[in-house]
Amino acid sequence: MSSSPSAPLPPAPLLLVDDYPPNLIALEAVLAPLGQPLVKVTSGEEALKAMLSEDFAAVLLDVQMPGLSGLETATLIKQRKRSASTPILFLSAVSRDEGAILEGYAHGAVDYIVKPYDPDILRAKVGVFVDLYRRGRQLQREEAEMRRRERELLERESAARVQAAVQEVQRAVGPLPLVDALLAAAPVGMTLVDRELRYVRCNAWIAHAIGRSPEQVVGRTVHEVSPLEEAIRIQHRVEHVLRTGETLMGLPTSVDFSHTGERRHVLVNYFPVRGEDGAVVAVGALFLDVTAQVRAQQHAESLNERLIAQQHWLEAVLHRIPVPLVLVERGSGRFTFANAAADRMWGGTYPRPETRAEYDRIVTVRHLDGTPIPSEQMASARTARGESVSGLQMLLDTPHGSTAILVESSQVPAMEGSPAVGVVTFQDISALKEAERALQKREQEYRTLAESMPQVVWTARADGQLDYVNQVLTRYIGQEEAAALGHAWTQLIHPEDLDETQRRWTHSLRTGEPFEVEYRIRRADGAYRWFLTRATCMREPDGRPLKWFGTATDIDDARRTRDAHRFLAEASALLGSTLEAEATLQQVARLAVPTLADWCCVDMLEEDGSLRRLAVSHADPAKVRLAWEIARRYALNLKATHGVPHVLRTGEPSWVPDVTEDMLVAATGGDPERLGMARQLGLRSFLAVPLVARGRLMGVLILAHSESGRRYGEADVRLAEDLGRRAGLAVDNARLYAASQTAVRLRDDFLGVASHELKTPLTPIQLKVQALQRRVSTEPDGVLPARQVGAVLDVVSTQTRKLSVLVSGLLDVSRISTGRLELHLEPVDLAALVREVAHAFEAEAAKADCALRLRLAEAPVVGRWDRLRLEQVVTNLLTNALKYGAGRPVEVALASVDGRALLAVRDEGIGIAAEAQARIFEKFERAVSDRHYGGLGLGLYITREIVRALGGGVSVESEPERGALFTVSLPLGS
């Protein structure tokens, strides 16, 4: 049974999608009056799940959602065949610009509604799609019913044809019982009328239709059974067949079923029944009920009229869409529709030729650069082939000029008898392209400015992903721009600076606050330099971050200078905190790690020219022990071209930016054990600078980088040199302080000795004078005998001479210290001079119980010398020999060897310890205590300075208790 016109329309469910629940409640309130089921979900994922289980009249979809956005959800809905035709209405409270709206239509939307919206308008728009959905579903039901009945009719027709064929075969010859059986079983109306128009046979179908039994019909005439009008029509047709023998096929008529009052539509076939002689003896009629087909046809015509009306309505809707839209027939590529917006864009009626070839002649499209697009690559041609086009930009040549357009197309599959069609939309993007060109120009200007700047210039998206860097950075890191953008910036930052940098960048991304931080960036050669990076955020109108603009300025030199000044200030303060030389150097080593180095060693020059390691510093105590062990076990190779030997030879820094394996092998002489220990140090960059003070090389400061991976540059060399000078000055100050303390001590000792020595001759003088005064007072006339006075005068003279010697010695020290020692050079025979001085010491030698032996050259030993000063030298040497060798022989020898005079004075006294042999030639120094041996400790000092002034030298060889040998060497010549 067909659907009744009054049958209720099916419900039209609506899908509401919004991640903000209050918005869903508001939509529900607006759409509730439509009386349709409302399905509410809060995400694109839930929307897709809902569409898998149910069809919807429309989808109201929020554009901005977390996870799947509205645009992405719409794309997935349109890609699914079952939901591709479901209308989508976008709702948005953010994007109001034309570009966003056009993007919404490009993703398959039928409408783009910007909040706040009018509830009545929204309800009216949705109501249209609800009505379309319900009517479409009703039509689907009716069409399904019609198809079912058509199938039944076809089945009946097939059976009727079979029965008719059987009757026709047997109508003339077959037995009547068989004919009757066939007539009774046939599902169609069948009669047999003779030439007198009497019914010979009538099956139950016909009898039932006229409200009689077959027995009541057979034997009666047509006029007796049927109404007059119907009987006359039957008569004419039967007579025509009897007369002509022709078969009448598919004659339409109607039959009123008397028992129901229902009129049925019937197709009647009249055919002749011939006897054995071939003459027509009767006419058979086959009645086929086609009521269902007729009604279906009528219903189809009604549906077609309604579809045409709906098509007109849909075309009216499409004409009101502001986006140019055309429909392209699948296969042929023929344009079946163009809306008013398309006509306006064309400047007239948009071309709708009958053939694709004609359209290609009329319409020309080009790429944005002006090159033609082949006809087979045109968007409409691709759409006709079943492709979907997205984001295609081109130039459309219209009668009024070229227009830049954005083309999108999608496929609408064949549905319910409607052919498949492609929907192509055009968006006029001329203004957008003009703005884009202006933007490109501004961007080019910006890039030109950015590329001309000496700083690193960069931009990043709102999420922090870099999208531009200038060539300053690409050259610095040795990569192209594309590689630099794809390169994780965290891999370029020094590991020690990474955590703080990431923390600040994350904070700026979250808050939009300006970003500023200093960190080190790795250069192409692996070295790191300090950069100051600043960035500010450009925001959307609603305040959300849109883009970051930043710069990175190389501040390595400035920072190193600042750090160097701070470091040197700290170093100066630390170095000035102590006046102990070794403690100062140890502080230098500790201060250098880790600011200047991973390793620091300090080696100092000793008085004998040897090198002594005083300090080693490293963060790892085990490595400190390793460095001490290497210094203990292996002597320094003074012939090496780099490192400490170079500094000792030249007084210049030795700088090795990159320590290689070959350098280690050369430095260790290839010794496997030593090489292995050197490798454990892990040296990667090396620097050695001199410790200098007042132009004097005092030692070497050794710096090295290992596990930090840093390498020394020229700035590091300058800083290390400055530290070396300050450390050298601090050490020198410490030594000067120690020397001053020693000088003070020596001064105090000297004053004590000098006061004692000066009093020694004064005391006997004073005693003799006092005794003489007492004797004079006892004499009656105050006159003493000359003998008594002479003895006193001899003592006074002797002690006065001693006092004079002491004073002269002090005066000589003063002259030597101030550089005012005067020499009166003349030819002097040193042999004769030694004999004279030795003769003068005979009495003193006898008093000391020393045998004075002379071994002098027979020939004169002559040179240009100061006679008085040489006498002073010989006197001082003999005085010492007699003082410290008393009771044993003293030998004086003189010889001429290789142009030099060699004067040797040997005693067999107490001798001199090795550690005191260099010290005894200094001022106020002695090898023994002044308590046992008198004197100011100036004789050997004056002797050395006089001999030096004469161009010679003096040395000593001695062992304790084995005497001493003093040798003076003087140049001969006139």
* Structure confidence by residue, pLDDT tens digits, 589-618: 888 887 788 889 888 888 777 888 888 888
Compute the distance between CA of residue 369 and CA of residue 350 in angstroms, rounded to an integer: 24
pLDDT for the residue 925? 63
Task: Name the one residue in this structure whose structure tokens are 């079943």.
Answer: 386
Compute the distance between CA of residue 285 and CA of residue 394 in angstroms, rounded to an integer: 69
Check whether 904 has a pLDDT greater than 90. Answer: yes
Pairing of strands 825-829, 852-855: unpaired
436 by DSSP, 3-state: which?
Answer: helix
Pairing of strands 685-693, 696-705: antiparallel
pLDDT for the residue 891? 93
- Strands of 351-400, DSSP E: 364-366, 392-398
Compute the distance between CA of residue 661 and CA of residue 683 in angstroms, rounded to an integer: 10
CB 403 within 8 A of CB 395: yes
**CA distance to 749, 753, 936, per residue, from 756 (Å):** 11, 5, 9
When mean pLDDT is compared over 601-610, 633-642, 795-804, 913-922, the highest value belongs to 601-610
Per-residue burial over 840-874, b if 16 or more Cβ lie within 10 Å, else e, is: ebeeebeebebebeeebeeeebbbbbbeebbbbbb
Compute the distance between CA of residue 588 and CA of residue 573 in angstroms, rounded to an integer: 11
**CA distance to 196, 358, 731, 804, 963, per residue, from 362 (Å):** 73, 6, 98, 136, 131
Long-range CB pairs of 99-105, under 8 A, 24+ apart, other chains included: 99/432, 100/63, 102/323, 102/406, 102/427, 103/71, 104/63, 104/71, 105/321, 105/323, 105/408, 105/425, 105/427
pLDDT category at 806 given cuts 50, 70, 90 is low
pLDDT for the residue 737? 75
Check whether 412 has a pLDDT greater than 90. Answer: no
Query: What does the CA dihedral 724, 725, 728, 732 come to, rounded to 10 degrees?
Result: -170
**CA distance to 319, 324, 397, 745, 805, per residue, from 400 (Å):** 21, 16, 8, 112, 129
pLDDT for the residue 259? 61
Report residue 40 as tokens.
Answer: 């509410």
Check whether 767 has a pLDDT greater than 80. Answer: no
116 preceded by a cis bond (ω within 30 of 0): yes
Compute the distance between CA of residue 3 and CA of residue 146 in angstroms, rounded to an integer: 9
**Which pTM was predicted?**
0.40
* Structure confidence by residue, pLDDT tens digits, 21-38: 888 888 889 899 988 999
* Structure confidence by residue, pLDDT tens digits, 658-687: 888 888 888 887 788 888 888 888 888 889
Closest CA to 854 of 906, 881, 891: 891
DSSP 329: E
When mean pLDDT is compared over 65-79, 249-263, 808-822, 891-905, the highest value belongs to 891-905
Angle subtended by helix axes 939-949 and 786-817, to nearest 10: 60
pLDDT category at 16 given cuts 50, 70, 90 is very high
Q: What is the mean pLDDT of residues 880-898?
A: 88
Alpha helix positions (H), 708-825? 714-778, 786-817
Residue 698 CA, chain-centre distance (Å), reads 48
* Structure confidence by residue, pLDDT tens digits, 90-141: 888 765 566 777 777 777 788 888 888 888 888 888 888 888 888 888 877 8
pLDDT category at 59 given cuts 50, 70, 90 is very high
Check whether 194 has a pLDDT greater than 60. Answer: yes
Q: What is the mean pLDDT of residues 417-443?
A: 81
CB 419 within 8 A of CB 330: yes
- Expressed in angstroms, the distance from the first to the final Cα of the chain is 158
Compute the distance between CA of residue 151 and CA of residue 155 in angstroms, rounded to an integer: 6
pLDDT category at 164 given cuts 50, 70, 90 is very low
Report residue 545 as tokens.
Answer: 């971050």
Check whether 701 has a pLDDT greater than 70. Answer: yes
Closest CA to 648 of 701, 600, 597: 701
- The residue count for the chain: 974
pLDDT category at 653 given cuts 50, 70, 90 is very high
pLDDT category at 415 given cuts 50, 70, 90 is low
pLDDT for the residue 902? 92
Compute the distance between CA of residue 931 and CA of residue 935 in angstroms, rounded to an integer: 10
CB 705 within 8 A of CB 621: no
214: left (phi over 0), alpha (psi -120 to 50) or beta: alpha
Long-range CB pairs of 838-845, under 8 A, 24+ apart, other chains included: 838/878, 838/892, 841/875, 841/878, 841/882, 844/882, 845/882, 845/890
Check whether 166 has a pLDDT greater than 50. Answer: no
